[in-house]
Copies of this chain bind each other. A is one copy, B any other.
Amino acid sequence: MTAGPPPAGLPDQPPGTLQTPAAPGVVPRIAASLRRERDRSGISLTELARRAGIAKSTLSQLESGAGNPSVETLWALAVALEVPISRLIEPPRPNVQVIRAGDGLVLQSERASYAATLLASCPPGARRDIFRLLVQPGEARVSEPHNPGTTEHIVLSTGRARVGPATEPVELRAGDYATYPGDAPHVFEALEPDTTGVIIMEHI
Contact = CB atoms under 8 A, between A and B. Distances in A.
A84 B125 contact: yes
Given A83-B124, A165-B96, A101 B149 contact: no
Given A18-B79, A120-B153, A51 B6 contact: yes
Given A120-B153, A130-B153, A79 B198 contact: no
Number of copies of this chain in the oligomer? 2
Nearest to A53: B20
Main secondary structure of the interface of A (DSSP, over half): loop
**How many residues of A sit at the interface, in one of the four size bands?**
35 or more
A52 interface: yes
Interface stretch (A87-95, A106-114, A136-144): A87-95
Which 7 pairs across A and B sit closest by C-beta, in order of nearness?
A101-B175, A9-B84, A157-B157, A16-B84, A84-B125, A84-B148, A8-B84
